[in-house]
Amino acid sequence: MTSIDTFDVLTLTEEARNVVIDALSNETPSETLALWVEVTGTRGAGYSYDLYFSELNLAPDDAAIGRDGEVTIVVPAASVDRLRGSRLEFANEGGGGLVLVNPNSPTPEEINPGLPPEILELGVSGPLGSVALVVLEEQVNPSIASHGGRADLVAMNEETKTAYIKLSGGCQGCSMSRLTLSQGIETMLREAIPELASVLDVTDHASGENPFYSAE
């Protein structure tokens, strides 16, 4: 268990600390609760998180436990290295809310579990990949954000001119995802990259939130 005096995993800004303390005051019994912060997976090119109050005495022996002002923080062992050096802030945008600023990024294997290493090793930094990234960020994602969808370029084979696309959010597991890819995303990519040979969907649709997709 990490000592409270040497806790370096997560800090809170003053505004965020006050928000947490105020929320904690509405919990019963507040004096035995801690703020638990853990990585739950990935979202886009970053991590996804869960923040909640739970009993301090439930913390496993290998958890990192620290204190920031009046707030006791618990970080499960599996999340410690992924969160080390993070800062919890309060952002006023969108009505206000807590935002976790994390200097750490997930590995390609974490973002795309199960994909063959030979695909991940292709990367996205080549000429075609660079153009595809701009198209996805500036054209595709704004157009599918209305239903919570997102498309990310996993890899670009510059030799075969093949783009590997991963869908997430409202597009993962959706019965319309194949249509979205072929008539929306692929069309936008081909307009910007005429030489593009193919666009392959490498999404794990079976684990999406929408139950309508049936994998063949």
What residues contact residue 165 under an 8 Å CB cut-off, 6+ apart?
A: 151, 152, 153, 154, 181, 185, 199, 200, 201, 202, 203
Give the span between the Cα atoms of 125 and 205, in whole angstroms. 26
User: Higher confidence at residue 36 or residue 142?
Assistant: 36
Residue with tokens 């294997």: 109
State the CB neighbour count (10 A cutoff) for residue 145: 12
Give the model's confidence band at 114: pLDDT under 50 very low, under 70 low, under 90 confident, else very high: confident
Q: What is the pLDDT of residue 22?
A: 94
pLDDT tens for 162-178 read: 999 888 765 544 444 45
Closest CA to 151 of 211, 73, 138, 159: 138
What residues contact residue 104 under an 8 Å CB cut-off, 6+ apart?
A: 47, 81, 82, 83, 84, 85, 86
Q: Is 102 strand, coil or helix?
A: coil
Read off the tokens for 80: 């410690």
Q: What is the pLDDT of residue 62?
A: 93
The one-letter amino acid at 44: G
User: Higher confidence at residue 186 or residue 51?
Assistant: 51
Q: Once rounded to an integer, what is the mean pLDDT over residues 134-148?
A: 84
Pick the CATH number of 111-207 from 3.30.365.10, 1.10.1660.10, 3.30.300.130, 3.20.20.70: 3.30.300.130
Q: What is the pLDDT of residue 180?
A: 53
Q: What is the pLDDT of residue 181?
A: 59
Give the model's confidence band at 3: pLDDT under 50 very low, under 70 low, under 90 confident, else very high: very low
Pick the range with the lowest mean pLDDT from 10-24, 71-85, 90-104, 140-154. Answer: 140-154
Q: What is the pLDDT of residue 35?
A: 95
Q: Once rounded to an integer, what is the mean pLDDT over residues 19-47?
A: 89
User: Higher confidence at residue 185 or residue 210?
Assistant: 185
Q: Kindly state which CATH superfamily the domain 4-104 is placed in.
A: HesB-like domain (2.60.300.12)
Q: Where in the chain is the domain with CATH 2.60.300.12?
A: 4-104
Q: Is 43 strand, coil or helix?
A: strand
DSSP state of 182: I
Torsional sign, CA 118, 124, 129, 135? positive
- 87 touches 51 (CB < 8 A): no
- 49 touches 38 (CB < 8 A): yes
Give the span between the Cα atoms of 74 and 51, in whole angstroms. 10
The proportion of the chain whose per-residue pLDDT surpasses 70, expressed as a percent, equals 83
Q: What is the pLDDT of residue 113?
A: 74
Is the model's pLDDT at 184 over the cut of 90?
no
pLDDT tens for 55-98 read: 999 999 999 999 998 999 999 999 999 999 999 999 987 677 99
- 124 touches 155 (CB < 8 A): yes
